[in-house]
Structure 1
Amino acid sequence: MYYPHGNGVAQAFNKKLYNILKKVVSQSKRNWHEKMEEALWAYRTTYRTPTQITTYSLVYGVEAVLPLEVQIPSLRVVVNEGITTEEVVHLRLQELDSLDKQRLNAQQRLECYQSRTTKSYNKKVRQRSYQVGDMVLAVRRPIVMNKKGNKFVSKWDGPYVVVEAYTSDSYIVVDQDKLKVGSINGRS
C-alpha cells in the first residue's frame, strides 16, 4: 500500500489532476466535482512531454477541436468545412491508419523518458540492505504533516530489529520487546 513504485502512473495522474483542479476551483473549494469535466478536458488536450503528444490524439487519432476554434474559425476548421463527406471519410480513415504508428511512437518515447527519469533518480539513491539482527527505523505511515501540534513529531518509528530479510528488499521486523511488527519495504 505504501510502495509508491507500485502505482506510480496512477499517482502521477492524480497529482496532475489535483493541480489542475486547484487552478479551476473557486475559493470555496466545495464545487470541485463540478469542475472535474473541465479539468479532465484540460488534461486530455494538453501536450505531454513524455509522449510528445496529447492523450486525446492518442485515443482518437486527431487533435481535439477546441471550442474557441469553432467560435473564431481556425484554419483547420475552415479547411474541413469546405470538403465533401466522402473526403471527410477518406481523411478519417487515413488518420485511423496512422493511429497505431502514433501510439507505438508515443510508447517508445515514454519508455525512453521513463528510462532517463529512472537513471536520474537512481543516481541520488543510496542502496541499503539490512541483515538479520540489524536495528532499523521505519517511516511512520501515514505521514501527517499539517495537523496542529504534530510539527515536532518524529517521522520515524522504531528502533526495530530485523528478524528475516528477503531478496526483494522486504524485511520482517520486531520491536525491542520482541513483538512482531510485520513486514516492511526497504525501498521506500
Structure 2
Amino acid sequence: MLKYGVTHLLATAYHPQTSGQVEVSNRGLKRILERTVGKNRASWSDKLDDALWAFRTAFKTPIGCTPYKLVYGKACHLPIELEHKAYWALKHANFDLKYAGDHRKVQLNELNELRDQAYENYLIYKEKTKKIHDSKIKNRVFNVGDRVLLFNSRLKIFSGKLKTRWTEPFTVTQVFPYGTVELSQTDGPNFKVNGHRLKHYFGGDIPPMVVPDLQTFPKDQ
C-alpha cells in the first residue's frame, strides 16, 4: 500500500463488522443463496446477481419501501411482468414520451422526500425493536456478598457438547452504577463484568429431609 500510495481506512466498505445494518443485509443475502444454490455450493457466485436483484426489489419493513425505490424513486418493473402483460406494468410502459418524462421528473423531485420518510420509518421501527428487546431483559439486583454465576459467551465459538454456559459461582464484592459488578474468585484477582451476564446462584448443600413422626392408628376390626 505504501508503494502505490493506497490509503487503507476502516470504513464500512473495508470493515463491515463495524456496521450492524451491513451484517443484517449480508445475512439476508446468505439466506437467499442458501435456498438457490444447488448441491455444488461453489456456484454461489453465479447466483449472486439474482440474489442481489431479489434483495433490492423486496419490500423492507424498517424503511417502508424497497431499496430499489429508495435509489431510483420508482417501482421496479420485472421483465416477466411485461411478458405476461401485467396491467399496471403495461400501463406505465405505454405512457406518452412527454407525459412519461414529466412524470419521471416529478418522481425525481419527490426522491428526497421519500428518503426522509424512509429515515423516519427506520427510526420508528428501531425504537419499537428496542422496546421489545428491553422488555425481555430481567432487572436483576445484586448485593455485596451474593453468589452469582457468570455467562461464558466464548462457548458460542468454542462450544462443548452438553457443556453448560454458566461458569463456577463467584462472589459479588462491589456493585457500580450502570450495571457494572465486581466479582471475586478463589484462585485469581477480582474482575468487573456486565450485570446482564450474571444470575443468582442458589446452590449449596441440600438440607436433610425431615420426616415427621407418623401417628399410628389401630387397625379397624
1:143 aligns with 2:156: yes
Q: Which has the higher contact order (CA 8 A, sep 6+)?
A: 1
Deviation at 1:176, TM superposition (A): 3.1
What pairs up with 1:1-188 in 2 under 5 angstroms? 8-128=20-140, 130=142, 135-144=148-157, 150-160=160-170, 167-170=177-180, 175-179=185-189, 184-187=193-196
Q: Deviations over 1:81-100 (max 9, x none)?
A: 44454433322221111122
Partner secondary structure for residue 30 of structure 1: helix
The number of residue pairs the alignment matches comes to 179
Could you tell me which runs of 5 or more consecutive residues in structure 1 were left unpaired when the two chains were aligned: 1-5
Contact 2:37 2:47 in 1 (8 A): yes
**TM-score of the two chains, using structure 2 as the length reference:** 0.63
The alignment partner of 2:188 has SS state of coil
Match for 1:35: what amino acid? K
Conserved in 2, the CA contact under 8 Å of 1:129 and 1:169?
A: no
Q: Report the RMSD for the aligned CA atoms in angstroms.
A: 3.2
- Aligned partners of 2:175 and 2:182 also within 8 Å: yes
Q: Distance in 2 between matches of 1:26 and 1:108?
A: 40
Cα-to-partner distance string for 1:83-132 (whole Å, 9 max, x where unaligned): 45443332222111112222222222222222222222322220235567
Partner-residue secondary structure (3-state), 2:42:
coil
CA separation in 2, counterparts of 1:32 and 1:170?
A: 45
State the secondary structure of the residue aligned to 1:27: coil
Q: Report the Cα distance in structure 1 between the residues aligned to 2:177 and 2:20, rounded to whole angstroms.
A: 22
Q: Is the 8 A contact 2:82 2:90 kept in 1?
A: no
Identity of paired residues, percent?
A: 26
Cα pair distance change 1:20/1:162, threshold 3 Å: farther
Find the aligned partners of 1:54 and 1:155 in 2 and give their Cα distance. Answer: 40
Q: Which has the larger Rg?
A: 2
Match of 1:141, SS? helix
The 3 A distance-change label for structure 1 pair 171 and 26 is farther
Question: C-alpha offsets along residues 119-149 of structure 1, whole Å, 9 cap, x if unaligned?
Answer: 223222202355676544132315148x7xx
**Per residue, is there more strand in 1 or in 2?**
1
Per the TM alignment, residue 42 of structure 1 is displaced from its structure 2 partner at its CA by 1.1
Query: Would the alpha carbon gap of residues 180 and 98 (structure 1) be closer, same or farther in structure 2, given more than 3 Å must change?
Result: same
Structure-2 separation of matches of 1:81 and 1:141: 56
- Give 1:139's aligned amino acid: N
Residues 129-188 of structure 1 show CA distances to partners (whole Å, capped at 9, x for unaligned) of 55676544132315148x7xx32112233445566765444556564322466x644446
